[in-house]
Amino acid sequence: MRFFIHLAAAAAIAALAAAPAFAADKMQLTPGAVEQIDTAAKLTNYGIDRNDPLLLLAAAKLLSGLDADAAPVAAPMGPADLIAKAKDLAKGDAAIGALADQVQGEASRGLCYGPGTVYGCF
């Protein structure tokens, strides 16, 4: 499973790096976005290995902050999947459930890019 996640993350990064070359009208994939994808993949691996819902929610939050046009999620687990897995691992913990709902709300809003962003990711 871990190998599959690493392979999928590498494929996603390669696909995302090539996307701007094929679609000039879309937003450029910045170094910050690539770093954000890599960090989310690492958090996903750690969260699954350690059965830690907080790490999965952190990965979901990072992925949901990406511009869908510039960085389409091609990973086996997108933000919604990570949130669902975190809720499953939480086993009814109300605090984790509330945090998951908050991250879900942020995921549905997306991230606004504009002045003051650092490498297009924050």
DSSP track, 68-86:
TTTS---SSS-HHHHHHHH
User: Which pLDDT does position 27 carry in this prediction?
Assistant: 58
Measured CA to CA in angstroms, residue 104 lies from 65, 77, 89 at distances of 11, 14, 16
Ranges of residues in the chain with a pLDDT under 70 are 1-28, 68-76, 107-122
Whole-prediction pTM? 0.61
Asked if 47 and 62 touch (Cβ cutoff 8 Å), the reply is: no
Whole-angstrom distance, CA of residue 108 vs CA of residue 106: 5
Whole-number pLDDT of residue 74: 56
- According to the model, what pLDDT value does residue 116 have? 47
pLDDT value of position 64 = 84
Q: Give the per-residue pLDDT at 121.
A: 44
For 11-76, give the DSSP string. HHHHHHHHHHHH-TTSPP--HHHHHHHHHHHHHHHHHHHHT-HHHHHHHHHHHHTS-TTTS---SS
Q: What is the pLDDT of residue 13?
A: 62
pLDDT of 119: 47
Q: Give which of 5, 32, 27, 29 is closest to 17, Cα–Cα.
A: 29
DSSP letter for 118, please: S
Instruction: Give the pLDDT confidence score for residue 89 in this predicted structure.
Output: 92
